[in-house]
Structure 1
Amino acid sequence: MSDPLNPEQLRSLTPLNVLSEQQWRELRSQLVPQPLLTGQLLFRRGDQARLTYYLLAGELSLVDQEGRQQRIGAGSDLSCHPLSPSLPRLHEVRALSDSSVLVLDSATLDRLVTWRLAYQDLLLDLGQEHDELEWLERLLDNPLFAKVPPSNVRAMLARLQRIELAAGSTVLREGESGDCCYFLYSGRAEVMRGADSDQQILAELEVGACFGEEALLADRPRNATVTLLEDGVVLRLDRQDFFALLKAPVVNEVSLGEAARLLSDGGQWLDVRLQEEYECGHALQSLHMPLQLLRLKARLLDKARTYLCYCDSGKRSASAVFLLSQLGFSACSLRNGLDALPAVQRASLLCERGSGYLARSGGRTERSR
């Protein structure tokens, strides 16, 4: 089996190139090139497997329902984007030469991309308020936050209680009931289980680590003792705030038909994907404002209009709607995103050039090319 791809190879693939190295490590088992022999079929037209494909080496043939053929070679601009991403597939894809492809689980990739772009906005905003931005980035890499909306994290940070402790202090003790969890802000901490001669060291915690959450999730006594190895600072989060953190927001969603009605009443499409994705195809008259910059550029929007947010799966647009709603805008999300649209509807909605707007710095927008 081939070795996993390295970061340099991943940085050319959209939207994989926005992920952190921590997220690439989460995908590591999938980041292995798959061989494809000359003439071998990759997928048929109409295929509905929730997989994302990238061409890494060789050349492929994409044939649509009209029999038109498109050739894609590795290293081209087209090869940097997923192959025939719509479901059901619009093309039959075969290898024109011995090739290799990357095959990823679409749901996992979309979750990681949405998380990363949403938290980029949070980090940019909080970077002005927190001296230790590196600590915050480490905190957000914790799997606990994988599905937590950034707005919830923002509220959680305001509720954390800072506690300074000396080396040797016990933060939590095995067998005690759990009424809170902690985050290690500075210093080193040791996790132990058992007592006296049966005591066993389980792990040493790194800065940004969350501990004590298992007792809250399982509603059971603490299963280990955590002690500081040196002077440090921990941040305490109470039980009720912990569960409020995990609660997902409710987002207003609309079908394509409902979106058309809102557009006729003065609404506007808002594309929250990456610019590379936008340039591959976007809705007519849509405004491009990527999720990670949405909070910074929201001042360019009109609170008298309704914004119809869209992305490929609906996850990024749901985060955008929640953020815009907090800022006082009227917004809704295209239900399940572009990927859920039938091929005819998707083709009629998206265009490759023109008829759109890019949000620029300095409080202006300009027509896309």
Structure 2
Amino acid sequence: MSEPLTPEQLRSLTPLNVLSEQQWRELRSQLVPQPLLAGQLLFRRGDQARLTCYLLAGELQLQDAEGRAQRVQAGSEISCHPLSPGLPRLHDARAVSDVSVLMIDSATLDRLLTWRLAHQDLLLALQQSGVDVEWLERLLENPLFAKVPPANVQSMLARLQKIELAAGSQIIEEGATGDCCYFLESGRAEVIRGAGSEHQVLAELEVGACFGEEALLADRPRNATVTMVEAGSVLRLDRQDFFALLKAPVVAEVSLGEGARLLTQGAQWLDVRLLEEYEKAHAPQALHMPLQLLRLKARLLERSRTYLCYCDSGKRSSSAVFLLSQLGYSVYALRGGLDVLPAVQRDALLCESGAGYLARSGGRTERSR
């Protein structure tokens, strides 16, 4: 199987070359060259498929409605741009020799480009006003900010409070009341649950990471301790600013009907409640990933799949959506949670009981015994 294109190769293709490395990672599954034999058609004139196509190796011929033909060779200036980019296609594209092509979903590419270019304008404006743009670029590479409008980012930056911390400093204490969230600006930090010999390291945070938001979303005490492993700085965002600027655009919600439509397109339920709640009743083939273990188990989820989170009140599922959005997953929360559903709908949804389904490495789903 061919490997995805390298960053060096991507930098020669317009407009892929303006995307960030994080965005290239999001496109990784689509960045694999596809072979085409001499004489085969890549697309026909009038084609409406929303694919952006590049010639990577070999030679193609483009022919328009009047029969005018144009040869395109890999490595030429024209091959660095999409082939016959408008829809419907204005050309037949046929391989003259054996070729290698790249085909990317145009809707996904357009979304990434729109986000990137909008934030480039913001970065330029902030750079001119003296803001540390290098750190901000790393922050904006967090998939969380793919859903945050640039205006919200600018408002958020104006409200952040910087705090310098020494190695070993405790930023968040497990069990404390949550009144803010933080972004790691520099240094390294660990997320720990428990104390003494019973403690468990849940994650090591990278620069740009948002943390402390779960207590705000769930309106519950802090569920872990966050400590600086090395000296650095964090930026504090108050509760009301977090809800106004970040939660609203990031935590996407769907109704039960909208969720049912997404299920027909391959989505999967994600139950973030406790094991006892899940075993009593859960949605058909719902994966069980309790919120307190989600950071550890998220790596078992499939990047290409959409997940629908639910809990009783909707608060735990909101926390799950926020966390998974940071990790780059496509995820929604059931609006209002199970509690707002009429009894007949709730009973129809939670129609399975007992041991359920677990996510395994490699994207496998299996029934627990």
Give the TM-score band, short-chain normalised. 0.5 to 0.7
Q: Flag the 1:198–1:185 CA change in 2: closer, same or farther, 3 A.
A: same
Distance 1:248 1:106 in 2: 27
Residues 1:122 and 2:103 aligned together: no
Distance 2:35 2:68 in 1: 25
Residues 1:164 and 2:164 aligned together: yes
Q: Flag the 1:3–1:185 CA change in 2: closer, same or farther, 3 A.
A: same
**Structure 1 counterpart of 2:95:** 95
Distance 2:99 2:115 in 1: 32
Q: Flag the 1:188–1:94 CA change in 2: closer, same or farther, 3 A.
A: same
Secondary structure at the aligned position of 2:197 is classed as helix
Consecutive aligned runs of 4 or more in structure 1 exceeding 6 Å deviation: none
Secondary structure at the aligned position of 2:233 is classed as strand
Residues 1:26 and 2:26 aligned together: yes
RMSD: 2.5
**Structure 1 counterpart of 2:104:** 104
- AA paired with 1:118? A
Residue deviations 1:50-105, cap 9 Å, x none?
22110111111223334433322212222111112222323222211100001112
Where in structure 1 are there 5+ consecutive unaligned residues?
250-369
- After TM superposition, the score normalised by the length of structure 1 is 0.61
**Structure 2 counterpart of 1:181:** 181
8 Å CA contact 1:184–1:233 kept in 2: the answer is: yes
Number of aligned residue pairs:
249
- After TM superposition, the score normalised by the length of structure 2 is 0.61
Residue deviations 1:327-351, cap 9 Å, x none?
xxxxxxxxxxxxxxxxxxxxxxxxx
Residue deviations 1:11-65, cap 9 Å, x none?
2211111122332232222221111111112123333222211011111122333
- AA paired with 1:199? H
- AA paired with 2:54? Y
Distance 2:223 2:83 in 1: 47
**Structure 1 counterpart of 2:210:** 210
8 Å CA contact 1:148–1:247 kept in 2: the answer is: no
Same amino acid, percent of matched pairs: 80
Distance 1:106 1:156 in 2: 31
Secondary structure at the aligned position of 1:127 is classed as helix
Distance 1:61 1:248 in 2: 48
**Structure 2 counterpart of 1:48:** 48
How far apart are residue 187 of structure 1 and its match? 2.6
**Structure 2 counterpart of 1:196:** 196
**Structure 1 counterpart of 2:15:** 15
- AA paired with 1:18? V
- AA paired with 1:47? D
Distance 2:247 2:176 in 1: 26
**Structure 2 counterpart of 1:135:** 135
**Structure 1 counterpart of 2:78:** 78
- AA paired with 1:117? L
**Structure 2 counterpart of 1:282:** none
**Structure 2 counterpart of 1:225:** 225
Where in structure 2 are there 5+ consecutive unaligned residues?
250-369
Q: Flag the 1:223–1:34 CA change in 2: closer, same or farther, 3 A.
A: farther
